[in-house]
Amino acid sequence: MTPAFQSYTLTSLDHLIQPIYLAGSSRFDLKGKDKTEVLNRLKTASDRLLVHLPFLGGFVVPAPPVDGKINAYEVRNCEDNGDPFLVVEEHPASTPLLLNGRLNPDFLPHAPAYQPQDPCPVLRNKANIVGDALFLVQYFHHTVMDGLGGSVMCRTLAQLCRNPDTPANELPTSVEAQKRMRQHLLKLESATPSPLRWDPKPLELTPLDLSDPRNTTWNCRYQVRVEKVEILRAACLMVRQAAQAGSAKGGGDVYLSPSLIVGAVFGLCSYRARQAARIHDGREPNIVVAVNLRKQLGLPSTYMGNALVVVQCPLDAQIIPDGNTSISHAPSGVHVKDLNQVCNIALYILKEIKAYTPDYVAGMLATLGALTDRTLVGLPWSGLAFSDTHKMPQYDDYGPLGEVQDFFIPGNAISGACWMLATKPLPGKKSLDWYELQIALESAAMQELERDRLFQWLIDAGTSKSKL
């Protein structure tokens, strides 16, 4: 039974998100552990989590019209329907986590299909025991939390697994803190409105024939060596410096993060792969990158709601004019034209991200808050999609369960996406040796991607691939 809590309306940023569920899977090793003790502690910690953050056990439901605003949603209590917050099930040792690339429905805490008008659970968890492994699948409604919000929930659960009696003020967040943060966002809506930096009209894709195996979504994981990304990043900075040396405008220093470089390579190579595989669904030749706005919004990293926008970059972006990249800039094994395109894409994405200043995002919230119909504006997913989650603390210690051994996004069915996943640190090392990527493409396009010369260079010719 979910403890009672005060209902609340989703924020303007929450309403930008498609009403879908996201699943994260954390794998634990049960070898040598007392299974009864492990499950009892997980159940106790889940109960404490629900008491501490009861809205996680609530439901997303249509909100009644207020001040003329329609098609809004809220989080509130619903009558207990026997839907438990945590489900525990032991499966035969041969039970696969994935079936035909999709998350095995037996591993989900509840059925995945819900109509928007029906009460939709905010978060439900399922502990799946398969042999000596425990897969903790956390299934949450994306309109209530983004990935970083989900990681705050995971950190809270991990702390309660380590010590169920942890004082409330020592946990990462609280109901009161989340309420204050939502009120802060509401106050920002009193700013002078700013025009949105994206076209609110949704892109209409041409559905692919899913009976054709070439169009089946494949999810593959790759390990990308940090040193390769650093080599490419340094080369891009040299190209930019050379271009500025010949420009009267000059320019200040920039920081090209590893995720900008990885995202640019993913966009360029995946687009070429889809073209080579003749995958045509109306998707535009651009990459869409998720951007966390907590800092610009004046929110702490513990805010659990959505604080995301996306920036779009055409894959033929031109920040650095043609002819400014010479063969001397290109690392061994990287074509000069590829280097030039990666630099242009990364610099264009950076330019778009920098446009989201604190003043601008306040004006953006004012524009969104003034909408009478919440369905009029959503985030544009018009091209290949990239999301950097590699700094999220997913590899935590859960007390009797031990440390998380692996984390990934199971059963994704959307092609044309890439996640830069959290990477498990090696014992005794503070720095990373590699980044983990999860890439989702049509099977025909995935095969072409692995033939791409730049992608092969980045992942050492595919030796680190694993298919999900």
Measured between alpha carbons, how far is residue 403 from residues 393, 406, 424, 445 in Å? 12, 9, 10, 35
| Range of weakest confidence among 12-16, 78-82, 257-261, 368-372 | 78-82
Task: Walk me through the domains of the chain, giving residue ranges and CATH numbers.
Answer: 8-188 (3.30.559.10), 213-467 (3.30.559.10)
More confident residue, 447 or 283: 447
pLDDT of 112 reads 64
pLDDT of 327 reads 66
Segment 388-402, tens digit of pLDDT: 999 898 999 999 999
Residue 394 per-residue DSSP state: -
- Give the residue from 19, 18, 13, 85 showing the smallest Cα distance to 55: 85
More confident residue, 251 or 454: 454
Torsion of CA 13, 18, 23, 24, to 10 degrees: -40
Distance of CA 40 to the CA centre of its chain: 31
pLDDT of 284 reads 85
Average pLDDT, the chain: 90
- Give the residue from 6, 23, 20, 28 showing the smallest Cα distance to 396: 28
CA gap 420, 385 in Å, rounded = 11
Mean pLDDT for the stretch of residues 11-27: 93
- Name the pLDDT band for 248 (thresholds 50, 70, 90): very low
Contact 82, 121 (CB under 8 A): no
More confident residue, 357 or 207: 357
Segment 402-415, tens digit of pLDDT: 999 999 888 788 89
CA gap 441, 455 in Å, rounded = 14
Segment 349-385, tens digit of pLDDT: 999 999 999 999 999 999 999 999 988 888 888 889 9
Mean pLDDT for the stretch of residues 323-332: 73
Most confidently modeled range among 108-122, 194-208, 237-251, 421-435? 421-435
Give yes or no for residue 453 having a pLDDT over 70.
yes
Give yes or no for residue 468 having a pLDDT over 60.
no
Contact 433, 270 (CB under 8 A): no
- Give the residue from 167, 73, 171 showing the smallest Cα distance to 122: 73
Give yes or no for residue 202 having a pLDDT over 70.
no
Contact 10, 74 (CB under 8 A): yes
Mean pLDDT for the stretch of residues 418-434: 85
Mean pLDDT for the stretch of residues 185-197: 97
pLDDT of 290 reads 96
pLDDT of 116 reads 67
Segment 271-325, tens digit of pLDDT: 999 999 999 888 889 999 999 999 999 999 999 999 999 999 999 999 987 766 6
Give yes or no for residue 253 having a pLDDT over 70.
yes
- Name the pLDDT band for 432 (thresholds 50, 70, 90): confident
Measured between alpha carbons, how far is residue 335 from residues 38, 377, 448, 452 in Å? 52, 40, 18, 12
pLDDT of 462 reads 47
